[in-house]
Amino acid sequence: MPDLPRFSLEGKVALITGASRGIGEATTVLFAQAGADIALSSRKEADLEKVAQQVRALGRKASVIPAHAGRLDQLQGIVDKTLTDLGRLDILVNNAGTNFFSPAMDMDEHAWDTVVNLDLKGVFFLSQAAARHMKDHGGGAIVNVASVSGLRPQIPTAHYSVAKAGVIMLTSQLGVEWAPHNIRVNCVAPGAIDTRLYDAIFALMPEDQQAAAKHASVQPVPLKRVGQPHEIADALLYFASDASTYTTGQTLTVDGGLIWTTGQG
């Protein structure tokens, strides 16, 4: 890695949710390369352990914390385990999320709660638990992963768009409110990224239509491709590191230019 001290995470501890694959895995590995010890959290321990092995191979410590980031009774435990295993908490990346098609006219309470509890409610309360520690230990950085669907409607996923819009506003709210405690809160809003969640959207379609649908999905994107997880991880590193010490409450879109085109997300 180039010697870029402002982007170094040497001596810091990062807690990353949704760390077992996709953007979370890419971020975990990049942060370890930048010098951080990592607390990895998601629901499946075996998947987390595979990523943790990559962290340890880089000479960094890894704490595996199986938990559901959308269940309030588990959130304080995620922070407590991070502190027990790694001794401190400097960075929180709220990356865990879910989405599925559900037309608004047909959406039931369970579908709404499944998405909103993980994608928004959990983000707030895990941030709160982390911030209470950071406040007493000199501050820290919280980085949320939203979506361009929080800035423009995605059809038919009203629960997801509303939750991600909430994350964007929450970022601004907490960025201002917690600035006196030296806690910076920022957000990355990805467009279409080559992850299992993106693929799952097309898996609902007949197999003979999937390739055409994927091709059509990138046509509104000025760069004419989906993004890669590491391209989101790079943006997250900026917000987590000292390269962004004068930045808080902000949302950065990383979407190939999609936000500037017309139509739906």
Query: Can you give the pTM of this predicted structure?
Result: 0.94
- Token pair in block for residue 196: 């299992």
Q: Is pLDDT above 70 for 204?
A: no
Q: Is pLDDT above 80 for 202?
A: no
pLDDT at 262 (0 to 100): 66
pLDDT at 3 (0 to 100): 67
pLDDT at 200 (0 to 100): 72
pLDDT at 1 (0 to 100): 52
pLDDT averaged over the chain? 94
> CA quadruple 117, 121, 126, 127: dihedral positive or negative?
positive
Starting from the edge strand earliest in sequence, which strands make up the sheet with 140-145, in order?
62-66, 37-42, 13-17, 91-94, 140-145, 183-190, 251-254
Report, as residue numbers or ranges, the catalytic residues.
Answer: 160
CB atoms within 10 A of CB 263: 8
Q: Which domains does the chain have, with CATH numbers?
A: 5-191+229-249 (3.40.50.720), 195-226 (no CATH)
Q: Is pLDDT above 70 for 126?
A: yes
User: How many percent of the chain have pLDDT more than 70?
Assistant: 97
The mean pLDDT of 229-250, rounded to a whole number, is: 98
- Amino acid at site 80: D
pLDDT at 123 (0 to 100): 98
Q: Is pLDDT above 60 for 263?
A: no
pLDDT at 51 (0 to 100): 98
Q: Report which of 234, 107, 97 is spatially closest to residue 167, judged by C-alpha positions.
A: 97
Q: Is pLDDT above 70 for 182?
A: yes
